[in-house]
Amino acid sequence: MNTISRQPQLPEDIDPITFEVVRSSLDALVDEMAITVMRTAYSGIVKDSMDYSTVFCDEKGRVIAQGLTIVAHLNSFPDAVNCILEKYKDNIFPGDIFILNDPYGSGGIHLPDIFIIKPVFVDQVLEGFSGATAHHSDVGGLVPGSNSTDSTEIYQEGLRIPALKLYEKGIPCEDLFDLISTNVRVPKKVIGDLRAEIAAVNLGERQYIGLAQKYGITKLRSCIEALIVYTEHLVRSEISALKNGRFDFTAYIDADNIEEGPVIVNLTLTVSGEKMIVDLHGSSPQVKAGINSPLTFTKSAVYRAVRMVMDPTIPNTSGYHHLIKVKAPPSSVVAGSHPAACGARGITGFRVSDAVMGALAQAAPDRVPADGDGGHTIISIGGYDSERIPFTYVDLIGGARGAHSNGDGPEGVPYPGGNISNTPVEIAEVELPIRIEEYSMLQDTGGPGEYRGSLSQTRRVRCLVEEAVLQIRSDKRRFRPYGLHGGHQGASSMNILNPGSDEAILPTMSVGEMVKDSVVLHKMASGGGWGNPLDRDPGMVRQDVWDEKVSFLHARETYGVIIDPITYVIDDDGTQALRLSYLKDDKGIT
């Protein structure tokens, strides 16, 4: 990698220490906003799974700081802010708070993600926007949780909110609150989460005004502009360090619930000097299913993937966006046009990121890990409890990453674009009429390699009400996670209803019914391996066997390592001979 100068070219009135303090203060500002959401939200998907984001933009809508939450959301804020600026122009005042979720004309990314954006004024001058978005547990539509993969147009997916004023000059629009409450299944949780977002953007406003008072608004503006320029400087250096050329990659979505499946995400990544073009032409046309990704979300998926191979200390600002040009065919799965359904668009965004990483693996082989679980699975179970009170259980299952050039894929670490957590079992069971009967990792599932992919996870959930609606969004069954540099594929995902003698295999994306005591079992895809499994250190294989991640048989047949099942001692001579025979016969797993 090229050596990057850490010293920005600063304006004459800004010294390096002030610059770094302001930069850190902005980072702390958005992280405090994120903590505020987590501590005040009502629903499990927000307060426990942490499916939300916080951001601060300048007066032009450019991101200047983003919180440590869902990366996939954050680069969509510029479009949302610009929609507000265009629609309201001179009708934006101190105390206003805007709300939106509509992906067609308002900068939203899908209906469950509701944006709350507050303009921030200093001395009556608009200086920026404090923003939050959270995945709400329901916004209406075909199924509880509003993540239907079977919807054919956006009108079936729930309540669409164009950019509107939720507060005007500090006065709440109670009619809008009432409208939202009336159109969702769990209004207490939805309104509670909205108020958590409102608390966060109010905090962001106060903290920013405090910075302006401390440094003066002129100096603060100068620091922010320098921060964006500095980001661009570092990103130019990062891109120029990549191998120049054109790199193609195609990713697939199983999409086994629709006739058009599998769905193709085709990508050509071109690196030329200090700039990059990501062209998604050749991807599938948009489909009559809820997996179409709005272009805003697709661009965010590209940015976050490219960001993964860059220096992590680079500021998280809009300074790198215009160096990465994204092209996508209109009315495609990666650039859905109205009225394309997009409730489960996350799966397409994940495949876009996977395709970018697959292309980058050719441009920077040692900096890209093998493929992983493909993004978190969403399981939704909704209905009415014994007192006819509506409920929605929306859980995110993730944490199986691919191996990399110097280590195994980490277990329990979520997909890079979705920095989420699983809902704690105890909290889910206390709050909802479900029982989680298994939460584990599956032996022998990690993609074999010199470095092993992380193991598959499994989650088994029992329904405790008379009837409920089940919605599953998963992937990577037919198209398993890929390995790199001789590493093997990860294991496939699987969905099983009532595992046992009467079990039914469910599609990767499905909507169905559950009755009392029925059980759904989800097995995630695992991480792919890196390097030849026969090059894995026998001591590491022994440790995996000791930890019950690898069986004795798998160690022998896949890694060529013979371990005594009583003493756990490695048979060095037998292992060497077995590995030589495997190499001679070109034997290995498929």
Pairing mode, strands 377-384 and 324-327: unpaired
State the pLDDT at residue 68.
81
Judged by phi (left if over 0) then psi (alpha if -120 to 50, else beta), residue 15 lies in beta
User: Which residues share a beta bridge with 394?
Assistant: 380
Question: Band of the pLDDT at 58, cuts 50, 70, 90?
Answer: very high
Distance between terminal CA atoms of the chain? 35
Instruction: Return all residues near 387 (Cβ < 8 A) that are at least 6 apart.
Output: none
State the pLDDT at residue 417.
74
pLDDT in tens, 146-156: 988 999 999 99
pLDDT in tens, 103-140: 998 999 999 999 999 999 999 999 999 999 999 999 99
State the pLDDT at residue 8.
56
Q: Which two tokens stand for residue 590?
A: 């498929």
Q: Is the peptide bond before 339 cis (omega within 30 degrees of 0)?
A: yes
Question: Band of the pLDDT at 7, cuts 50, 70, 90?
Answer: low
Is the pLDDT reported for residue 3 higher than 50?
A: no
C-beta atoms surrounding 442 within 10 Å:
16
**φ, ψ at 278 (rounded to 5°):** -115, 110
Residues 95 and 167 sit within 8 Å (Cβ to Cβ) = yes
State the pLDDT at residue 587.
54
State the pLDDT at residue 206.
98
Region 410-434: mean pLDDT is 88
Region 545-567: mean pLDDT is 98
Is the pLDDT reported for residue 2 higher than 50?
A: no
pLDDT in tens, 506-543: 999 999 999 999 999 999 999 999 999 999 999 999 99
Q: How far apart are CA 482 and CA 461, in angstroms?
A: 29
Handedness of CA 48, 418, 453, 506 (dihedral sign): positive
C-beta atoms surrounding 302 within 10 Å:
26
With both helix axes pointing from N to C terminus, report the angle between 295-308 and 346-363 in degrees, rounded to the nearest 10: 40
Instruction: Return all residues near 503 (Cβ < 8 A) that are at least 6 apart.
Output: 496, 497
State the pLDDT at residue 590.
36
DSSP assignment of 440-496: EE-TT-SPPSSBPPPPPEEEEEEE-SSEEEEEEE---SSSPPPPBTTPPP-PPPEEE
Handedness of CA 296, 68, 382, 184 (dihedral sign): negative
Region 350-375: mean pLDDT is 94
**Residue ranges of the domains in the chain?**
16-232, 369-531, 535-585
CA-only gyration radius of the chain, Å: 25
Is the pLDDT reported for residue 167 higher than 50?
A: yes
Q: Which helix (H) or strand (E) holds 121?
A: strand 113-122
State the pLDDT at residue 418.
75
Show the CA angle centred on residue 143, arms to residues 525 and 166, nearest 5°: 105
pLDDT in tens, 267-289: 999 999 999 999 999 999 999 99
Region 438-457: mean pLDDT is 97
User: Which residues share a beta bridge with 484?
Assistant: 530
pLDDT in tens, 298-316: 999 999 999 889 998 899 8
Handedness of CA 175, 179, 182, 188 (dihedral sign): negative
Q: How far apart are CA 125 and CA 273, in angstroms?
A: 39
State the pLDDT at residue 71.
75
Is the pLDDT reported for residue 193 higher than 90?
A: yes
User: Which residues share a beta bridge with 134?
Assistant: 52, 114
Pairing mode, strands 275-279 and 324-327: parallel
According to DSSP, residue 321 is labeled: G
Is the pLDDT reported for residue 183 higher than 50?
A: yes
- Look at residues 334, 439, 289, 331 and name the one whose alpha carbon lies nearest to residue 377: 439
Q: How far apart are CA 89 and CA 310, in angstroms?
A: 36
Is the pLDDT reported for residue 5 higher than 60?
A: no
Q: How far apart are CA 277 and CA 267, in angstroms?
A: 10
Secondary structure (3-state) at 344: coil
Question: Band of the pLDDT at 75, cuts 50, 70, 90?
Answer: confident
Residues 484-500 as b or e (16 or more Cβ within 10 Å = b): bbbbbbbbbbbbbbbbe
State the pLDDT at residue 320.
85
Q: Which helix (H) or strand (E) holds 168?
A: strand 164-168
User: Which residues share a beta bridge with 66?
Assistant: 55
According to DSSP, residue 155 is labeled: G
Secondary structure (3-state) at 394: strand
Q: How far apart are CA 231 and CA 121, in angstroms?
A: 25
State the pLDDT at residue 356.
97
The pTM assigned to this predicted structure is 0.93
Region 422-431: mean pLDDT is 91
